Amino acid sequence: MKVKDVMQTNVITIRTDMEIKEVAKILYDHQISGAPVVDSEGKLVGIVSEGDLLHKETNPQIPGVVGILGALIYYRGVRQYQSDLKKLIALQASEIMTSQVVKINKEASIEEAASLMVSKKIKRLPVIEDGKIVGIVTRMDIIKTLIDD
């Protein structure tokens, strides 16, 4: 079975210039946990999830520091701290989205999609053709194939 056999084609997308409140409302209204972010030409540029939005309600974790001979050595999470801080002050989808999106082709196998989801710890894969979204496959779409067999 291939991704095209189980993917959803009515994909809810977020525009890069949408305000965070609009993004949250779309996810809530459609009862989805994330959505692809597209530019003005409809090309995939990122993905935003409820996890990204949760950063708006948290404080960034200060990275662990060790002082040795008067120097500060960061041993945990400077990049994560910077990312958390950026998301905390974000106003638009383009500022809070994850820009390195794991995506898949519609001709890929269900096994490949499941493997990507497990190894990358993600819940959804945008299905891309010529840089544009033609569908999305979620964990539930793949789990449903177990019932249908």
We report the CATH number of the domain holding residue 109 as 3.10.580.10
Number of independent structural domains in the chain: 1
pLDDT of residue 39: 92
Token pair recorded at residue 6: 């189980």
pLDDT at 11 over 60: yes
b/e string for 101-128 if b means 16 or more Cβ within 10 A?
A: bebbebebebeebbebbeeeebebbbbb
Residue 67: its pLDDT value, please? 55
Q: Provide the residue range defining the domain that includes 137.
A: 3-148
- Residue 35 in this model has a pLDDT that exceeds 60: yes
Number of Cβ within a 10 Å radius of residue 44: 19
pLDDT in tens, 59-114: 545 555 555 555 545 555 556 555 555 555 567 888 888 889 999 999 999 999 99
Cβ contact 126:136 at 8 Å: yes
At 31, the amino acid letter reads Q
CA distance 86 to 130: 30
Percent of the chain exceeding pLDDT 70 equals 75
Calculate the alpha carbon distances from 137 to 33, 61, 63, 149 in Å. 13, 32, 35, 18
